[in-house]
Structure 1
């Protein structure tokens, strides 16, 4: 009797493992599907981290059971290693920058308008804004790409163009997406210690505040194009998450809050699907190596991220470690801020700055080596 029960349990776990493998395959396929063509695919792709985690747990389970069934989840880990690396990259040792190499360090940060309208703990209009602005202005990065940037030339605290750029002799690009009260302006800003030889922006829709600013930098004779991106927000507010949690146990409220969150997610998936294609079209026309950074508002298992990863390397995957969560809000473990880069660049270091937690995002910085131009034969 015990032996029969053991066989049934073994078969049951194998069937569940096969279901998880099919889930992984479906999730990988759904990342290729534009959300504006089939939005349910975006939700399946969004669930892929859960499938990858369960598959790894099955691998451990079969190994501990000393069962040959461990080969099934092991094959998924081996064949899908690139997707596991998106989840938690593994690096045996730190990369050492070659002696004499030309480097470029880039900081990317969604500043939440420097909390001008109130920030975490409603302290935004006082000390937290000052601390955030000073932290950016004195950061050793060569380039700052700032989303939800805010400046007001008539304010001592919020004259950020002067406090970050002019005071420290930096070149700047500021793409204004919205005008606020009392001479305030919001948008995307790029500050650089290297000369900006050309610049522009990509506007997704005339009524949208989301956009991309770009600048061509003369880095000691090499031209590098840097993009500062802010794609469509998930539009999920902290109170939406809190309401969902608090509705647990009340079926009617749970369904209502669940539909609300799902509707917002669907809208964001569809909008970002269009936006990333416009961004990629512009990137593909660049005559120079590119660094594409910013707040993409999508996790690494999304159409948005996947389309960028097809063309570019991801700095966190190549040089980062841990989970690398960048969203500083009620949803944990979300990495929605990224830096991508093209050929002739190599990422040697990547850091998520958890010491600066005054925005709803954490800053990220990457250090790159600019490889010499290939000699003409």
Structure 2
């Protein structure tokens, strides 16, 4: 019970002010699971101690629901104005692993999947477009071919003259747009676009926050070092150092993003790869102001990271008053990136 309370308190501590709090908050899922096991144990024992874990679950249900959602589709209201939004870190459509064209067929499949998805708005991170390539000319294949409006913020241009950044595609007109930079030399950023949805304006954000900078090999090295104390300490310190750097950077970025969101004159939908789990300062800052589409309309665990660490939900869609999420889906059928796509449908509510 104390562990849960400490973890919840640490969610509110900015990592740049006291970074150890971020590691305590990271452990909160373990505390919540352990509390559930205590509930089962005391139930079997038929002890009055069962009241304690039950009380934690009741008071802390909002944190449990961040990790696992239980919702049933309520259906689309008759005559409602709706907006479907897809968010996806496309991992540069695997262009950098396309040695001698061996990945080209899979990349093309991913591009076509995105281009033909029925969403009204696409928010894509780590977007890659090369006008000199038939396969990777994605601005044309996704936007021009299907008559979509777009706002593409280029973070950098690689040696193949390909543009890389984040993009919003929409079948509704864009009436205003802008970029939120998280530092002059930082490729991470957010962009926003005000779109006219049949007479109503909705502001769409897509963000790509600081990466965890942890690769599959780093995790494998740590696992393989178990049993070798010196090696394990070395690998553990390396992971902790990278996590600390990411916690601090994302904390600053989330605060800057939220400042901009709070000034929006329109209802907002905030999509992106936040690179932080639901028990983090980054997520908590956004959740204090906005609703989360997975929590309100999703089911199950909703893991979005397609890598060696299971059950991680680091991609999200948040939304403000004036909107209501009625559907949410994690697209496990599209597993060609290191992230799974997520989509949600919203009702634009009457004022």
Same fold (TM over 0.5): yes
Q: Which residue of 1 aligns with 2:305?
A: 327
Distance 2:9 2:101 in 1: 44
Give the match for residue 12 of structure 1: none
Indicate conservation of the 8 Å contact 1:151/1:160, yes or no. yes
Q: Secondary structure at the match of 1:311?
A: coil
CA–CA separation in structure 1 for the residues paired with 2:26 and 2:102: 32
Distance 1:51 1:318 in 2: 23
Contact 1:107 1:143 in 2 (8 A): yes
TM-score, structure 2 as length reference? 0.98
Q: Find the aligned partners of 1:189 and 1:114 in 2 and give their Cα distance.
A: 14
How far apart are 1:123 and its partner, in Å?
7.7
Question: Where does structure 1 lack aligned partners over 5 or more consecutive residues?
Answer: 1-20
- Structure 1 position 104 matched with structure 2 position 83: yes
Matched residues, number: 351
CA distance in 2, matches of 1:220, 1:94: 25
Query: 1:153 matched to which residue of 2?
Result: 131
Which residue of the partner structure matches residue 39 of structure 1? Answer: 19
Q: Which residue of 2 aligns with 1:214?
A: 192
Q: Show the counterpart of 1:234.
A: 212
Q: Give me the whole-angstrom Cα distance separating, in 2, the residues matched to 1:76 and 1:234.
A: 30
Are the counterparts in 2 of residues 148 and 186 from structure 1 also a CA contact under 8 Å?
yes
How far did 1:90 drift? Answer: 1.8
Runs of 4+ in 1 over 6 A off after TM superposition: 121-124
What SS class does the counterpart of residue 16 from structure 2 fall into?
coil
Where structure 2 has 5 or more consecutive residues not aligned to the other structure, the ranges are none
For 1:261, what is the secondary structure of its paired residue?
A: helix
Deviation at 1:182, TM superposition (A): 2.5
* Partner secondary structure for residue 202 of structure 2: strand
**In structure 2, how many angstroms separate the alpha carbons of the residues matched to 1:344 and 1:68?**
44
Q: How does 1:144-293 map to 2 (within 5 A)?
A: 144-293=122-271
- 1:14-53 map, 5 Å: 21-53=1-33
Residue correspondence of structure 1 range 76-91 to structure 2 within 5 A: 76-91=56-71
Does the 8 Å CA contact 1:114/1:133 hold for their aligned counterparts?
yes
- 1:230 CA displacement: 0.2
* C-alpha contact 1:350 1:367 (8 A) present in aligned 2: yes
| CA RMSD, Structure 1 to Structure 2 (Å) | 1.2
Match of 1:361 among 333, 339, 344: 339
- Aligned to 1:116, the other structure's residue is in SS state helix
Q: Does 1:295 pair with 2:262?
A: no
Quote how far apart the aligned CAs of 1:124 are.
Answer: 6.7
1:116 matched to 2:82? The reply is: no
Question: Hey, what does 1:63 align to over in structure 2?
Answer: 43
Give distance in 1, aligned partners of 2:57 and 2:146: 48
Aligned partner of 1:8 in structure 2 is none
